[in-house]
Structure 1
Amino acid sequence: MEPEGTITVARALGLPALRRGLPEVVSGQELLDRPVRWVHAGEAPNIAALLKGGELLLTTGLGVGPRPAEQRAFVRRLAERGIAALVVELGARFRTLPGPVVDTARSCGLPLVQLHREVPFVTVTEEIHTEIVNEHYALLRQADVVHRQATEVLLRGGGVPEILRHFAAFAANPVFLETPDGQLLYAAGPGGTPPAGAADPLQVWEGLRAPRAAERPEPPTGSVIADIPGGGPGPAPYGRG
Protein backbone atom coordinates (compact mmCIF):
# COMPACT_ATOMS: atom_id res chain seq x y z
CA MET A 1 0.00 0.00 0.00
CA GLU A 2 1.53 3.30 -1.06
CA PRO A 3 1.65 6.28 1.31
CA GLU A 4 -1.17 8.79 0.93
CA GLY A 5 -0.20 11.89 -1.02
CA THR A 6 2.38 10.07 -3.14
CA ILE A 7 2.59 8.16 -6.40
CA THR A 8 5.00 5.25 -6.58
CA VAL A 9 7.15 4.00 -9.45
CA ALA A 10 4.86 0.97 -9.76
CA ARG A 11 1.77 3.13 -10.06
CA ALA A 12 3.46 5.40 -12.61
CA LEU A 13 4.32 2.38 -14.75
CA GLY A 14 0.70 1.29 -14.60
CA LEU A 15 -0.68 4.56 -15.96
CA PRO A 16 -1.87 4.48 -19.61
CA ALA A 17 0.89 6.71 -21.02
CA LEU A 18 3.75 4.49 -19.82
CA ARG A 19 1.82 1.26 -20.22
CA ARG A 20 1.59 1.96 -23.96
CA GLY A 21 5.39 1.79 -24.06
CA LEU A 22 5.33 -1.85 -22.89
CA PRO A 23 7.56 -1.21 -19.85
CA GLU A 24 9.84 -3.99 -18.66
CA VAL A 25 11.52 -3.73 -15.25
CA VAL A 26 15.15 -4.76 -15.71
CA SER A 27 16.39 -4.06 -12.19
CA GLY A 28 14.97 -2.96 -8.85
CA GLN A 29 11.70 -4.89 -9.04
CA GLU A 30 11.62 -4.87 -5.24
CA LEU A 31 12.03 -1.08 -5.15
CA LEU A 32 8.99 -0.07 -7.19
CA ASP A 33 7.29 1.30 -4.08
CA ARG A 34 9.63 4.31 -4.19
CA PRO A 35 7.73 7.60 -4.26
CA VAL A 36 7.99 9.73 -7.40
CA ARG A 37 8.44 13.41 -6.57
CA TRP A 38 8.50 14.62 -10.18
CA VAL A 39 9.13 13.47 -13.76
CA HIS A 40 11.99 14.72 -15.91
CA ALA A 41 12.99 13.91 -19.48
CA GLY A 42 16.51 14.57 -20.73
CA GLU A 43 19.42 13.35 -22.83
CA ALA A 44 22.38 15.31 -21.44
CA PRO A 45 25.39 13.27 -20.26
CA ASN A 46 25.46 15.35 -17.05
CA ILE A 47 21.71 15.04 -16.43
CA ALA A 48 22.29 13.90 -12.83
CA ALA A 49 23.62 17.35 -11.92
CA LEU A 50 20.29 18.87 -12.98
CA LEU A 51 18.18 16.67 -10.71
CA LYS A 52 17.25 17.00 -7.03
CA GLY A 53 16.29 13.41 -6.23
CA GLY A 54 13.01 11.55 -6.35
CA GLU A 55 12.53 12.05 -10.09
CA LEU A 56 11.36 9.48 -12.60
CA LEU A 57 13.87 10.10 -15.40
CA LEU A 58 12.78 9.46 -18.98
CA THR A 59 15.47 9.16 -21.64
CA THR A 60 16.21 7.53 -24.99
CA GLY A 61 19.81 7.00 -23.82
CA LEU A 62 21.49 9.54 -26.09
CA GLY A 63 23.47 10.90 -23.14
CA VAL A 64 24.52 7.55 -21.72
CA GLY A 65 27.82 7.40 -23.62
CA PRO A 66 29.34 4.72 -25.89
CA ARG A 67 32.02 3.30 -23.56
CA PRO A 68 31.32 0.96 -20.63
CA ALA A 69 33.06 3.28 -18.15
CA GLU A 70 30.86 6.20 -19.27
CA GLN A 71 27.74 4.06 -19.05
CA ARG A 72 28.56 2.90 -15.54
CA ALA A 73 29.34 6.46 -14.43
CA PHE A 74 26.08 7.75 -15.94
CA VAL A 75 23.96 5.28 -13.97
CA ARG A 76 26.01 5.58 -10.79
CA ARG A 77 25.61 9.37 -10.70
CA LEU A 78 21.84 9.02 -11.08
CA ALA A 79 21.71 6.51 -8.24
CA GLU A 80 23.81 8.80 -6.03
CA ARG A 81 21.45 11.67 -6.82
CA GLY A 82 18.60 9.54 -5.47
CA ILE A 83 16.25 9.44 -8.44
CA ALA A 84 13.17 7.24 -8.12
CA ALA A 85 13.79 5.28 -11.33
CA LEU A 86 15.46 5.41 -14.74
CA VAL A 87 13.21 4.71 -17.73
CA VAL A 88 14.97 4.17 -21.08
CA GLU A 89 13.05 4.07 -24.35
CA LEU A 90 14.66 1.57 -26.75
CA GLY A 91 15.11 2.34 -30.43
CA ALA A 92 16.74 5.74 -30.86
CA ARG A 93 20.01 4.83 -29.11
CA PHE A 94 19.85 1.20 -27.98
CA ARG A 95 18.10 -1.89 -29.30
CA THR A 96 18.84 -3.52 -25.95
CA LEU A 97 20.23 -1.96 -22.81
CA PRO A 98 24.03 -2.32 -22.48
CA GLY A 99 25.31 -4.74 -19.86
CA PRO A 100 27.21 -2.03 -17.91
CA VAL A 101 24.00 0.00 -17.59
CA VAL A 102 22.00 -2.97 -16.28
CA ASP A 103 24.75 -4.27 -13.99
CA THR A 104 25.40 -0.85 -12.44
CA ALA A 105 21.70 -0.23 -11.86
CA ARG A 106 21.46 -3.58 -10.06
CA SER A 107 24.55 -2.99 -7.95
CA CYS A 108 23.41 0.53 -7.03
CA GLY A 109 19.84 -0.48 -6.21
CA LEU A 110 18.33 1.73 -8.91
CA PRO A 111 15.03 0.72 -10.54
CA LEU A 112 15.71 0.46 -14.29
CA VAL A 113 12.90 0.17 -16.81
CA GLN A 114 13.10 -0.24 -20.59
CA LEU A 115 10.28 0.75 -22.94
CA HIS A 116 9.83 -1.50 -25.97
CA ARG A 117 7.57 0.93 -27.78
CA GLU A 118 7.96 4.67 -28.43
CA VAL A 119 5.79 6.96 -26.29
CA PRO A 120 5.50 10.77 -26.26
CA PHE A 121 7.44 11.83 -23.17
CA VAL A 122 5.32 14.97 -22.84
CA THR A 123 2.21 12.80 -22.45
CA VAL A 124 3.93 10.71 -19.78
CA THR A 125 5.03 13.78 -17.80
CA GLU A 126 1.61 15.43 -18.04
CA GLU A 127 -0.18 12.30 -16.86
CA ILE A 128 2.13 11.56 -13.93
CA HIS A 129 2.31 15.20 -12.84
CA THR A 130 -1.49 15.33 -12.84
CA GLU A 131 -1.57 12.27 -10.60
CA ILE A 132 0.99 13.80 -8.24
CA VAL A 133 -0.92 17.06 -7.95
CA ASN A 134 -4.22 15.25 -7.43
CA GLU A 135 -2.68 13.11 -4.67
CA HIS A 136 -1.30 16.17 -2.91
CA TYR A 137 -4.64 17.97 -3.21
CA ALA A 138 -6.47 14.97 -1.75
CA LEU A 139 -4.02 14.88 1.17
CA LEU A 140 -4.54 18.61 1.80
CA ARG A 141 -8.30 18.10 1.85
CA GLN A 142 -7.90 15.30 4.39
CA ALA A 143 -5.63 17.49 6.51
CA ASP A 144 -8.25 20.25 6.41
CA VAL A 145 -10.87 17.80 7.67
CA VAL A 146 -8.62 16.79 10.57
CA HIS A 147 -7.96 20.45 11.38
CA ARG A 148 -11.69 21.19 11.50
CA GLN A 149 -12.30 18.11 13.66
CA ALA A 150 -9.61 19.21 16.11
CA THR A 151 -11.12 22.71 16.25
CA GLU A 152 -14.56 21.27 16.96
CA VAL A 153 -13.09 19.14 19.76
CA LEU A 154 -11.55 22.22 21.39
CA LEU A 155 -14.72 24.31 21.01
CA ARG A 156 -16.83 21.72 22.81
CA GLY A 157 -14.29 21.41 25.60
CA GLY A 158 -12.49 18.25 24.51
CA GLY A 159 -8.91 17.61 25.49
CA VAL A 160 -5.58 16.50 24.09
CA PRO A 161 -6.30 12.72 24.08
CA GLU A 162 -9.27 13.14 21.77
CA ILE A 163 -7.32 15.40 19.42
CA LEU A 164 -4.47 12.90 19.32
CA ARG A 165 -6.91 10.15 18.40
CA HIS A 166 -8.01 12.21 15.39
CA PHE A 167 -4.38 12.71 14.36
CA ALA A 168 -3.64 9.02 14.79
CA ALA A 169 -6.62 8.07 12.62
CA PHE A 170 -5.47 10.52 9.94
CA ALA A 171 -1.88 9.21 9.96
CA ALA A 172 -2.93 5.56 10.43
CA ASN A 173 -0.14 5.38 13.04
CA PRO A 174 0.21 5.91 16.77
CA VAL A 175 0.73 9.53 17.87
CA PHE A 176 2.42 10.72 21.04
CA LEU A 177 2.78 13.89 23.08
CA GLU A 178 6.03 14.21 25.04
CA THR A 179 7.77 16.73 27.22
CA PRO A 180 11.02 18.22 25.88
CA ASP A 181 13.02 15.71 27.95
CA GLY A 182 11.17 12.76 26.40
CA GLN A 183 8.59 11.97 29.09
CA LEU A 184 5.37 10.60 27.66
CA LEU A 185 2.26 12.68 28.36
CA TYR A 186 -0.31 11.04 26.08
CA ALA A 187 -0.42 8.24 23.52
CA ALA A 188 -3.15 7.43 21.01
CA GLY A 189 -3.64 4.75 18.36
CA PRO A 190 -5.52 4.96 15.06
CA GLY A 191 -8.62 3.43 16.69
CA GLY A 192 -10.89 0.72 15.40
CA THR A 193 -9.95 -2.92 15.49
CA PRO A 194 -6.15 -3.24 15.20
CA PRO A 195 -4.84 -5.85 12.75
CA ALA A 196 -3.54 -9.10 14.16
CA GLY A 197 -0.09 -8.64 15.66
CA ALA A 198 -0.35 -4.83 15.76
CA ALA A 199 1.60 -3.28 18.63
CA ASP A 200 0.01 -1.26 21.38
CA PRO A 201 0.81 2.52 21.09
CA LEU A 202 2.81 2.34 24.32
CA GLN A 203 4.89 -0.50 22.90
CA VAL A 204 5.54 1.57 19.77
CA TRP A 205 6.61 4.54 21.89
CA GLU A 206 9.00 2.37 23.88
CA GLY A 207 10.51 1.14 20.59
CA LEU A 208 11.03 4.71 19.37
CA ARG A 209 12.79 5.81 22.53
CA ALA A 210 16.52 6.34 22.11
CA PRO A 211 19.29 7.62 24.37
CA ARG A 212 18.81 11.35 24.83
CA ALA A 213 22.28 12.38 23.69
CA ALA A 214 21.13 15.93 22.92
CA GLU A 215 18.73 18.35 24.53
CA ARG A 216 16.31 17.93 21.60
CA PRO A 217 17.06 14.66 19.73
CA GLU A 218 16.32 14.19 16.07
CA PRO A 219 13.14 12.18 15.39
CA PRO A 220 13.56 8.60 14.16
CA THR A 221 13.05 7.91 10.47
CA GLY A 222 9.34 7.89 9.66
CA SER A 223 8.36 10.09 12.62
CA VAL A 224 7.45 13.75 12.87
CA ILE A 225 8.14 16.16 15.71
CA ALA A 226 6.01 19.30 15.97
CA ASP A 227 6.05 22.01 18.64
CA ILE A 228 2.82 22.30 20.63
CA PRO A 229 2.37 25.80 22.09
CA GLY A 230 2.15 25.61 25.86
CA GLY A 231 0.55 27.97 28.32
CA GLY A 232 3.19 27.88 31.03
CA PRO A 233 6.79 29.04 31.38
CA GLY A 234 9.68 27.12 29.87
CA PRO A 235 9.98 25.12 26.65
CA ALA A 236 6.78 23.84 25.10
CA PRO A 237 6.13 20.12 24.97
CA TYR A 238 6.24 18.50 21.58
CA GLY A 239 4.47 15.66 19.85
CA ARG A 240 5.92 12.67 18.07
CA GLY A 241 3.87 10.65 15.54
Structure 2
Amino acid sequence: MPPTLASLVRAAALDLRVLAGQDDLEREVRWVHTSELADPTPYLEGGELLLTTGMKLGRTNAERRAYVQRLAAAEVAGLGIGIGLSLERVPAVIVEAAQEHGLPVFEVPRPTPFIAISKVVSSALAAEQYEAVTTGFAVQQELTRAAAGREGAATLIRRLAARLDGWAALYDADGMLRHVAPAGARPRTDALRADIDRLRGMPAPSSASLQGGHGGSEERISVQSLGAERRISGFLAVGTDRPARAADRQTLGTAASLLTLALEQSRAGADAGARMRTALLRLLLTGE
Protein backbone atom coordinates (compact mmCIF):
# COMPACT_ATOMS: atom_id res chain seq x y z
CA MET A 1 0.00 0.00 0.00
CA PRO A 2 1.25 3.54 -0.73
CA PRO A 3 2.06 5.76 2.25
CA THR A 4 -0.72 7.99 3.55
CA LEU A 5 -0.79 10.95 5.86
CA ALA A 6 -2.36 8.70 8.47
CA SER A 7 0.53 6.23 8.25
CA LEU A 8 2.98 9.07 8.90
CA VAL A 9 0.99 10.21 11.92
CA ARG A 10 1.07 6.64 13.23
CA ALA A 11 4.88 6.57 12.95
CA ALA A 12 5.68 7.30 16.59
CA ALA A 13 9.30 8.18 15.86
CA LEU A 14 8.22 11.17 13.76
CA ASP A 15 6.01 12.62 16.51
CA LEU A 16 3.86 14.61 14.06
CA ARG A 17 0.92 16.55 15.48
CA VAL A 18 -2.17 17.09 13.31
CA LEU A 19 -3.41 20.68 13.43
CA ALA A 20 -5.89 20.71 10.52
CA GLY A 21 -7.52 18.32 8.07
CA GLN A 22 -8.11 15.47 10.49
CA ASP A 23 -10.77 14.06 8.16
CA ASP A 24 -8.41 13.85 5.17
CA LEU A 25 -5.57 11.78 6.58
CA GLU A 26 -6.15 8.88 4.18
CA ARG A 27 -4.67 10.93 1.36
CA GLU A 28 -1.81 9.17 -0.39
CA VAL A 29 1.63 10.77 -0.28
CA ARG A 30 3.37 10.43 -3.64
CA TRP A 31 6.52 12.33 -2.61
CA VAL A 32 8.02 14.65 0.01
CA HIS A 33 9.17 18.10 -1.04
CA THR A 34 10.96 20.67 1.12
CA SER A 35 10.69 24.32 0.18
CA GLU A 36 11.18 27.75 1.73
CA LEU A 37 9.73 29.59 -1.27
CA ALA A 38 6.76 31.90 -0.89
CA ASP A 39 5.20 30.07 -3.84
CA PRO A 40 6.51 26.52 -4.31
CA THR A 41 3.60 25.45 -6.54
CA PRO A 42 5.49 25.75 -9.88
CA TYR A 43 7.70 22.90 -8.63
CA LEU A 44 4.88 20.63 -7.45
CA GLU A 45 2.87 17.99 -9.31
CA GLY A 46 0.22 17.26 -6.69
CA GLY A 47 0.16 14.58 -4.03
CA GLU A 48 3.29 15.81 -2.25
CA LEU A 49 3.75 16.36 1.45
CA LEU A 50 5.31 19.82 1.54
CA LEU A 51 7.71 20.53 4.40
CA THR A 52 8.81 24.01 5.43
CA THR A 53 10.30 25.79 8.43
CA GLY A 54 7.96 28.69 7.72
CA MET A 55 10.48 31.27 6.57
CA LYS A 56 8.26 32.36 3.66
CA LEU A 57 4.75 31.80 5.00
CA GLY A 58 4.16 35.53 4.80
CA ARG A 59 4.11 38.36 7.32
CA THR A 60 0.43 39.31 7.18
CA ASN A 61 -2.67 37.19 7.64
CA ALA A 62 -3.63 37.82 4.02
CA GLU A 63 -0.26 36.56 2.78
CA ARG A 64 -0.50 33.47 4.95
CA ARG A 65 -4.03 32.70 3.78
CA ALA A 66 -2.87 33.09 0.18
CA TYR A 67 0.00 30.66 0.84
CA VAL A 68 -2.42 27.98 2.06
CA GLN A 69 -4.81 28.66 -0.80
CA ARG A 70 -2.04 28.15 -3.36
CA LEU A 71 -1.06 24.81 -1.84
CA ALA A 72 -4.66 23.62 -1.73
CA ALA A 73 -5.13 24.59 -5.40
CA ALA A 74 -1.95 22.65 -6.27
CA GLU A 75 -3.54 19.58 -4.63
CA VAL A 76 -0.67 18.83 -2.28
CA ALA A 77 -1.37 15.98 0.11
CA GLY A 78 -0.50 18.02 3.17
CA LEU A 79 1.71 20.66 4.75
CA GLY A 80 4.26 19.98 7.48
CA ILE A 81 5.62 23.01 9.33
CA GLY A 82 8.76 22.62 11.41
CA ILE A 83 8.83 24.60 14.64
CA GLY A 84 11.78 25.76 16.68
CA LEU A 85 13.68 27.56 13.89
CA SER A 86 11.72 30.32 12.18
CA LEU A 87 8.57 29.75 14.21
CA GLU A 88 7.88 28.85 17.80
CA ARG A 89 4.39 27.67 16.87
CA VAL A 90 2.29 27.30 13.74
CA PRO A 91 0.36 30.55 13.17
CA ALA A 92 -3.34 30.24 13.97
CA VAL A 93 -4.33 31.84 10.66
CA ILE A 94 -2.52 29.04 8.81
CA VAL A 95 -4.55 26.45 10.70
CA GLU A 96 -7.80 28.33 10.10
CA ALA A 97 -7.15 28.73 6.38
CA ALA A 98 -6.14 25.07 6.08
CA GLN A 99 -9.41 23.99 7.69
CA GLU A 100 -11.33 26.18 5.26
CA HIS A 101 -9.54 24.73 2.22
CA GLY A 102 -9.41 21.12 3.42
CA LEU A 103 -5.62 21.03 3.62
CA PRO A 104 -4.08 18.78 6.31
CA VAL A 105 -1.41 20.58 8.35
CA PHE A 106 1.12 19.00 10.70
CA GLU A 107 3.41 20.41 13.30
CA VAL A 108 6.88 18.90 12.95
CA PRO A 109 8.74 19.08 16.28
CA ARG A 110 12.29 20.43 16.41
CA PRO A 111 13.90 17.00 17.15
CA THR A 112 12.36 15.47 13.98
CA PRO A 113 14.53 16.22 10.92
CA PHE A 114 12.72 16.55 7.62
CA ILE A 115 14.94 13.83 6.16
CA ALA A 116 13.44 11.35 8.64
CA ILE A 117 9.99 11.98 7.13
CA SER A 118 11.41 11.65 3.62
CA LYS A 119 13.01 8.32 4.48
CA VAL A 120 9.74 6.90 5.83
CA VAL A 121 7.87 7.91 2.68
CA SER A 122 10.67 6.74 0.36
CA SER A 123 10.81 3.32 2.04
CA ALA A 124 7.05 2.91 1.76
CA LEU A 125 7.07 3.87 -1.93
CA ALA A 126 9.91 1.42 -2.62
CA ALA A 127 7.97 -1.33 -0.86
CA GLU A 128 4.90 -0.48 -2.95
CA GLN A 129 6.89 -0.69 -6.19
CA TYR A 130 8.41 -4.01 -5.18
CA GLU A 131 4.99 -5.38 -4.33
CA ALA A 132 3.66 -4.18 -7.68
CA VAL A 133 6.42 -6.02 -9.57
CA THR A 134 6.06 -9.28 -7.66
CA THR A 135 2.27 -9.15 -7.69
CA GLY A 136 2.26 -8.31 -11.39
CA PHE A 137 4.40 -11.35 -12.20
CA ALA A 138 2.15 -13.64 -10.14
CA VAL A 139 -0.98 -12.22 -11.77
CA GLN A 140 0.53 -12.66 -15.22
CA GLN A 141 1.11 -16.35 -14.52
CA GLU A 142 -2.36 -16.76 -13.02
CA LEU A 143 -4.14 -15.14 -15.97
CA THR A 144 -2.03 -17.02 -18.51
CA ARG A 145 -2.95 -20.34 -16.89
CA ALA A 146 -6.61 -19.30 -16.87
CA ALA A 147 -6.51 -18.39 -20.58
CA ALA A 148 -4.90 -21.74 -21.43
CA GLY A 149 -7.57 -23.72 -19.57
CA ARG A 150 -10.64 -25.45 -20.94
CA GLU A 151 -12.98 -22.47 -20.48
CA GLY A 152 -10.30 -19.99 -21.54
CA ALA A 153 -11.74 -16.49 -21.74
CA ALA A 154 -14.56 -17.17 -19.26
CA THR A 155 -12.10 -18.27 -16.57
CA LEU A 156 -9.82 -15.35 -17.32
CA ILE A 157 -12.69 -12.88 -16.90
CA ARG A 158 -13.57 -14.42 -13.52
CA ARG A 159 -9.95 -14.20 -12.33
CA LEU A 160 -9.64 -10.63 -13.58
CA ALA A 161 -12.77 -9.54 -11.71
CA ALA A 162 -11.46 -11.13 -8.52
CA ARG A 163 -8.06 -9.44 -8.88
CA LEU A 164 -9.68 -6.03 -9.30
CA ASP A 165 -12.15 -6.60 -6.45
CA GLY A 166 -14.84 -5.65 -8.93
CA TRP A 167 -16.35 -6.96 -12.15
CA ALA A 168 -15.20 -7.68 -15.69
CA ALA A 169 -16.98 -8.28 -18.99
CA LEU A 170 -15.92 -9.45 -22.44
CA TYR A 171 -17.78 -8.48 -25.61
CA ASP A 172 -17.27 -9.72 -29.15
CA ALA A 173 -16.52 -7.43 -32.11
CA ASP A 174 -20.23 -6.73 -32.59
CA GLY A 175 -20.62 -5.58 -28.99
CA MET A 176 -22.47 -8.70 -27.86
CA LEU A 177 -21.74 -9.78 -24.31
CA ARG A 178 -19.85 -13.09 -24.17
CA HIS A 179 -18.73 -13.37 -20.55
CA VAL A 180 -19.29 -11.38 -17.35
CA ALA A 181 -18.15 -11.97 -13.78
CA PRO A 182 -19.69 -11.97 -11.33
CA ALA A 183 -23.06 -12.71 -12.88
CA GLY A 184 -24.71 -9.98 -10.83
CA ALA A 185 -22.69 -7.37 -12.73
CA ARG A 186 -24.68 -7.88 -15.93
CA PRO A 187 -26.84 -4.74 -15.45
CA ARG A 188 -23.66 -2.67 -15.46
CA THR A 189 -22.65 -4.06 -18.84
CA ASP A 190 -25.93 -3.02 -20.46
CA ALA A 191 -25.17 0.62 -19.66
CA LEU A 192 -21.93 0.58 -21.68
CA ARG A 193 -23.40 0.14 -25.17
CA ALA A 194 -22.85 3.77 -26.14
CA ASP A 195 -19.21 3.65 -25.00
CA ILE A 196 -18.59 0.49 -27.00
CA ASP A 197 -20.17 2.07 -30.08
CA ARG A 198 -17.83 5.06 -29.77
CA LEU A 199 -14.78 2.81 -29.44
CA ARG A 200 -15.87 0.84 -32.48
CA GLY A 201 -15.27 3.95 -34.56
CA MET A 202 -11.66 4.25 -33.34
CA PRO A 203 -8.62 2.16 -34.26
CA ALA A 204 -7.82 -0.62 -31.80
CA PRO A 205 -6.64 -0.58 -29.17
CA SER A 206 -8.50 2.42 -27.73
CA SER A 207 -9.97 3.00 -24.28
CA ALA A 208 -12.42 5.14 -22.34
CA SER A 209 -12.60 5.77 -18.60
CA LEU A 210 -15.64 6.96 -16.72
CA GLN A 211 -17.11 7.28 -13.26
CA GLY A 212 -20.40 5.53 -12.63
CA GLY A 213 -22.42 5.27 -9.47
CA HIS A 214 -24.14 1.95 -8.81
CA GLY A 215 -25.95 1.00 -5.64
CA GLY A 216 -24.82 4.19 -3.90
CA SER A 217 -21.09 3.69 -4.63
CA GLU A 218 -18.78 5.38 -7.09
CA GLU A 219 -17.12 3.01 -9.54
CA ARG A 220 -14.14 3.60 -11.77
CA ILE A 221 -15.05 1.97 -15.06
CA SER A 222 -12.75 1.32 -17.99
CA VAL A 223 -13.77 0.10 -21.44
CA GLN A 224 -11.19 -0.78 -24.07
CA SER A 225 -11.23 -2.25 -27.53
CA LEU A 226 -9.22 -5.39 -28.20
CA GLY A 227 -7.51 -6.04 -31.47
CA ALA A 228 -4.37 -6.29 -33.52
CA GLU A 229 -3.22 -4.27 -36.50
CA ARG A 230 -6.05 -1.77 -35.92
CA ARG A 231 -8.70 -4.48 -36.36
CA ILE A 232 -11.21 -4.75 -33.50
CA SER A 233 -11.80 -8.27 -32.26
CA GLY A 234 -13.74 -7.43 -29.08
CA PHE A 235 -14.10 -5.20 -26.05
CA LEU A 236 -13.11 -5.51 -22.39
CA ALA A 237 -14.90 -3.61 -19.62
CA VAL A 238 -13.96 -3.57 -15.94
CA GLY A 239 -15.23 -1.72 -12.90
CA THR A 240 -14.18 -1.37 -9.27
CA ASP A 241 -14.92 1.00 -6.43
CA ARG A 242 -11.70 0.37 -4.50
CA PRO A 243 -8.67 2.70 -4.79
CA ALA A 244 -6.38 1.99 -7.72
CA ARG A 245 -3.29 -0.11 -7.04
CA ALA A 246 0.07 0.03 -8.72
CA ALA A 247 -0.35 -3.47 -10.20
CA ASP A 248 -3.79 -2.82 -11.73
CA ARG A 249 -2.48 -1.37 -15.00
CA GLN A 250 -0.21 -4.36 -15.57
CA THR A 251 -3.05 -6.73 -14.70
CA LEU A 252 -5.34 -5.08 -17.25
CA GLY A 253 -2.61 -5.05 -19.87
CA THR A 254 -1.95 -8.76 -19.43
CA ALA A 255 -5.66 -9.61 -19.56
CA ALA A 256 -6.18 -7.49 -22.68
CA SER A 257 -3.29 -9.17 -24.49
CA LEU A 258 -4.48 -12.68 -23.61
CA LEU A 259 -8.09 -11.92 -24.53
CA THR A 260 -7.03 -10.37 -27.84
CA LEU A 261 -5.09 -13.52 -28.66
CA ALA A 262 -8.06 -15.73 -27.69
CA LEU A 263 -10.49 -13.72 -29.80
CA GLU A 264 -8.15 -13.68 -32.79
CA GLN A 265 -7.69 -17.45 -32.55
CA SER A 266 -11.45 -17.90 -32.30
CA ARG A 267 -11.97 -15.71 -35.35
CA ALA A 268 -9.27 -17.58 -37.27
CA GLY A 269 -10.94 -20.88 -36.43
CA ALA A 270 -14.31 -19.57 -37.54
CA ASP A 271 -12.84 -18.24 -40.79
CA ALA A 272 -11.15 -21.59 -41.46
CA GLY A 273 -14.44 -23.38 -40.82
CA ALA A 274 -16.27 -21.05 -43.18
CA ARG A 275 -13.70 -21.63 -45.91
CA MET A 276 -14.02 -25.38 -45.48
CA ARG A 277 -17.82 -25.24 -45.71
CA THR A 278 -17.55 -23.11 -48.85
CA ALA A 279 -15.17 -25.58 -50.43
CA LEU A 280 -17.42 -28.53 -49.57
CA LEU A 281 -20.44 -26.76 -51.04
CA ARG A 282 -18.50 -26.05 -54.23
CA LEU A 283 -17.58 -29.71 -54.47
CA LEU A 284 -21.21 -30.73 -54.06
CA LEU A 285 -22.40 -28.28 -56.72
CA THR A 286 -19.71 -28.97 -59.28
CA GLY A 287 -19.16 -32.64 -58.58
CA GLU A 288 -15.44 -32.11 -58.67
TM-score > 0.5, shorter chain as reference = yes
Q: Give the match for residue 3 of structure 2.
A: 7
TM value normalised by structure 1 = 0.79
Cross-structure match for 1:201 = 185
Q: Deviations over 1:12-42 (max 9, x none)?
A: 2223xxx334222111111111111111112
Identity of counterpart residues, as a percentage? 26
2:198 partner amino acid: E
Does the 8 A contact of 1:20 with 1:117 survive in 2?
Answer: no
Q: How many residues align?
A: 224
One-letter code aligned to 1:99: A
- Structure 1 residues 177 and 141, CA gap change in structure 2 (3 angstroms): same
Cα displacement (A) at 1:68: 1.0
Is the CA contact 2:15–2:112 (under 8 Å) kept in the aligned structure 1? no
How has the CA–CA distance of structure 1 residues 215 and 156 changed in structure 2, closer, same or farther, with 3 Å as cutoff? Answer: closer
- Paired residue secondary structure (1:86): strand
Cα distance in 2 between the residues matched to 1:211 and 1:228: 17
Q: Which residue of 2 aligns with 1:220?
A: 210
Change (3 A) 1:235 1:51: same
Flag structure 2 segments of 5+ consecutive residues without an equivalent.
200-206, 212-219, 240-288
Q: 2:141 aligns with which of 140, 145, 148?
A: 148
- Cα RMSD (Å) of the superposition? 2.9
Matches of 1:147 and 1:119 in 2, distance apart?
42
Match of 2:235 in 1: 237
More moved, 37-46 vs 147-156: 147-156
C-alpha distance 157-112 of structure 1, shift in aligned 2 (>3 A): same
Confirm or deny: 8 A CA contact 2:168 2:236 kept in the other structure: no
**Structure whose residues are more often helix by fraction:** 2
**SS, match of residue 156 in structure 2:** helix
Q: In 2 relative to 1, CA 28–141 (structure 1 residues): closer, same or farther, beyond 3 Å? A: same
Tell me if the contact between 2:14 and 2:117 (Cα under 8 Å) persists in the aligned partners: no
**Unpaired stretches in structure 1, ≥5 consecutive residues:** 190-198
Q: Which has the higher contact order (CA 8 A, sep 6+)?
A: 1
Q: Which has the larger radius of gyration?
A: 2
More strand by share: 2
**Corresponding residue number in structure 1 for 2:158:** 165
Q: Return the TM-score normalized by structure 2.
A: 0.68
